[in-house]
Structure 1
Amino acid sequence: MSKVDMAFIGGRGLFSNYGGVENAIREIALEVSKKNENIIVYGASNEDENVFPLPRNLTRVVCPLWIYQKLGQHGLIVFCVLHALFVGRPKVVYLFASGPCIFTPLLRLGRLKVITSLRAVDSARDKWGKVSQKILQMGEYCSWRFANAFTVNSKEMVEIYAPRRNDVKFIPNGAKGIETKGEGRLSEYGLTSDRYLLFAARLDPVKRLHILLEAHSKLPAETRPMLVVAGGHVKDKLYEQQLIDMASPDVVFVGHISKLELDPLMAHCRAFILPSVLEGMSNSILSAMAAGKPVLAADVPANSDLVEYRDALFTADDCDELQTKLSVLSSNDEFCATLGAKLKERAKAEYSWSTTSEKFYQLSKSIN
């Protein structure tokens, strides 16, 4: 193996469409690979939802399937860290998300430079047990305490961590346009372009899909648009059943889908809705903005910093306000077009994967 310049650890790998960490690592690694740096991206061998040709200087190292199947994400991270320490030996290791960051001290002891990147305060999610929460808190502590450089992707997190580490770097996500613009499986789902709302996120209580389902069900049946729910990876089966039970007949659950399947749903939706109350910087919102779609998101700092416009926000957990704004989105074509155009211009002006990747690249050079 040629001398490795940088390696990325976090998430399930280059070809996975699981969530924001995977999307960020993929976009950053592909952009930085244009500089002829030798790059490793670690991941799992069975996460192949979005396969594409790799540049010659970008290597995919995967955890053996048996480790991933028996030990899950914990085993995956340990494998990646040990491979980086004893085999890959990159000049710089990027650790994305709270869990992997717990290994920052070990990598530093192994004389590797480390850049950490928190994508949200994961320990604050209400799905964790006490042990898992403590592990994530330790990872968050290690991320700012021991890394050569420490980054976050929201201004809210800068405010949280600046008192602890004053050189915390804010590096936002980028916005990527839709690549697949055909109609995909719209007819299979019984959907008509511009006549449905889209929710795309994990079915996790913190994403507040139950609030959206309640507000949607209260819209007048004769004018209520369909609601497409794209999300899976459910850990709480009781919560999943609760969602199914409260959904109106106009809700379509499509499960966890690849980017190839999600892009047409985004391209043809009337609006993108994200009532989540815990975000870093949402890649889904950015994708909707880049596509010129109106967005309606919970008014939490990470979302309000991103969309900026009050028309694109509702008070978090306020079902009545959400219902009112859904009604406007469902009936007012001019409002949708205007808001979508404003958000597209903001995405173009403020959020670029090229700019984001350059910031990570320059940070790696500054610590070498």
Structure 2
Amino acid sequence: MLGLRGFPGVQGGVETHAQHLCPLLAAAGCHVEVIVRSAYQPPSVGDHWQGVRFRRLWAPKSKGLEAIVHSFLGVLYAGLIRRPDVLHIQAIGPAVMTPLARLFGLRVVVTHHGPDYDRQKWGQVARWVLQLGERFGMRWSHGRIVISEVIRGLVRQKHGRESTLIPNGVVLPDLPDSADALAKFGLDAGRYVVLVSRLVPEKRHFDLIRAFDQAALPGWKLAIVGASDHPDEYVRSVIEAAKATPGTVCTGLQTGEALRQLYAHAGIFVLPSSHEGLPIALLEALSYGLPVVASDIPANLEVGLPAAHYFPLGDTEALAERLRAFAAQPLTPGLRNERRAWVKTRFDWHDIARRTLLVYQAVVKS
């Protein structure tokens, strides 16, 4: 597998996707090797984790170059050394190397996680490369996986290809009894709004900060959880806006037990983003049984929540109203368990792994 920074505990939707998927593929009998970027892969993990083998390859830690350079080196490694039955490329950026992989005689599966060229952080050249990666990945691969119906329609319309819809999933976590991680940030259980994401423009942190300020929830705080791989002016602006807004804290990147506690003890989860594939963070919030509020972009709507959980993209007053409404509703154990059962039924990683394996088997037999 190629096209991600690494895992476990590495920030990013594709990384979280692979972290859940790969051990289940290994448990199903696949020999899974993941080509990761050495600068991101936690040294403490070692070369094997839950049946998955890691191959660390160097890449320049540069927003514009690291993915394409690492993907090129990864395809060389796969084509010249490993010769796998299937090379699974995650995301359309790395998929620009699909023709090279085909030249090496490899059978290629590409997962389309969303039109990354729509993300605000990319310049004109980067967007062109991402569009080229989408074109190559969807037209040259042996198998195509998409994570949402919206993306499947895009692939059919733009590239005339059919694809297999396999969404992201969740694993229902054990709810932690401890809340000691909250004290570090001055948070009280059940009395804070949380957003877990990378600090990038399409997550629209400013919308949430403004809406939280407008909502004026007595005794509540806002926790912005996450960081950026490449800190820039946007990151600095978010941190400054948080400092200027009473009750708002930026926790930085959190993983492991601290992240579990920040999810589990939140009062409301919000995802105000303008771009998503199928939002893993939203699904994870639901797996903790949290009331969630999300922007009404197609990827978020596809999760299938009732209308009261959505607000028009960019409408901070509507978001503030949603915050007031959910803050006034007690989060009972019954409601929490209902949400957990609902998301488990619709987005189960074991079923996702089974369906992914079927794609591999079809590609190998073709």
> What is the TM-score of this pair, normalised by structure 2?
0.91
What is the match of residue 319 of structure 1? 316
Deviations 1:83-136 (A, max 9, x none): 111111101011111111001111111111001001111011111111101000
Residue equivalent to 1:152 = 146
Q: Distance in 1 between matches of 2:354 and 2:232?
A: 41
Corresponding letter in the other structure for 1:28 = L
Indicate how the Cα distance of structure 1 residues 139 and 260 shifts in structure 2: closer, same or farther if over 3 A, else same: farther
Among 334, 337, 351, the alignment partner of 1:355 is 351
Deviation of 1:74 (Å): 3.1
Q: Does 1:31 align with 2:24?
A: yes
Tell me the CA shift for residue 160 of structure 1.
1.2
- Residue 42 of structure 1 is matched in structure 2 by 35
Summarize the alignment of residues 238-317 of structure 1 with structure 2, pairs less than 5 Å apart.
238-247=233-242, 248-317=245-314
Q: Distance in 1 between matches of 2:278 and 2:219?
A: 29
What is the match of residue 220 of structure 1?
Answer: 216
Matched, 1:232 2:230: no
Contact 2:3–2:67 under 8 Å retained in 1: no
C-alpha contact 1:282 1:303 (8 A) present in aligned 2: yes
2:12 is the alignment partner of 1:19: yes
Unmatched 5+ stretches in structure 1: 1-7
In 2, the alpha carbon distance for the partners of 1:23 and 1:293 equals 19
1:347 partner SS: helix
Unmatched tracts of structure 2, length 5 or more: none
Q: CA deviation at 1:313?
A: 1.0
After TM superposition, give the deviation of residue 72 of structure 1 in Å: 3.0
The change in CA–CA distance for 1:240 and 1:46 in structure 2 (over 3 A counts) is: closer
Aligned to 1:170: 165
Counterparts of 1:218 and 1:175, CA distance in 2: 32
Match of 1:183 in 2: 179
**Identical amino acids, percent of aligned pairs:** 25
Deviation of 1:276 (Å): 0.6
Contact 1:14 1:60 (C-alpha < 8 Å) held by counterparts = no
**Separation in structure 2 between the aligned mates of residue 25 and residue 253 of structure 1, nearest angstrom:** 27
1:236 Cα deviation after fit: 6.1
Q: Tell me how far 1:76 sits from its aligned partner.
A: 2.0
Cα gap change, 1:352 to 1:191, in 2 (>3 Å): same
The answer to whether the 8 Å contact 2:108/2:141 transfers is yes
Residue deviations 1:152-208 (CA, integer Å, cap 9, x gap): 101111111123334211110111223572324111111111111110111111111
Which residue pairs with 2:205 in the alignment?
A: 209
**Structure 2 CA distance for partners of 1:128 and 1:55, relative to 1, 3 Å:** closer
Aligned to 1:3: none
Q: How many residues align?
A: 357
SS at match of 1:232: coil
Residues 31 and 354 in structure 1, CA contact (< 8 A), matched pair in contact too: yes
For 2:201, the aligned partner's letter is P
Moved more, 90-99 or 51-60: 51-60
Amino acid at match of 1:60: F
TM-score, normalized by length of structure 1? 0.91
- CA contact 1:32–1:361 (8 Å) conserved in 2: yes
Q: CA RMSD in A?
A: 2.1
- Distance in 1 separating the partners of 2:282 and 2:80: 39
State how far apart, in whole Å, the 2-side matches of 1:140 and 1:184 are: 44
Residue 36 (structure 1) shift: 2.4
Q: Does 1:131 align with 2:128?
A: no
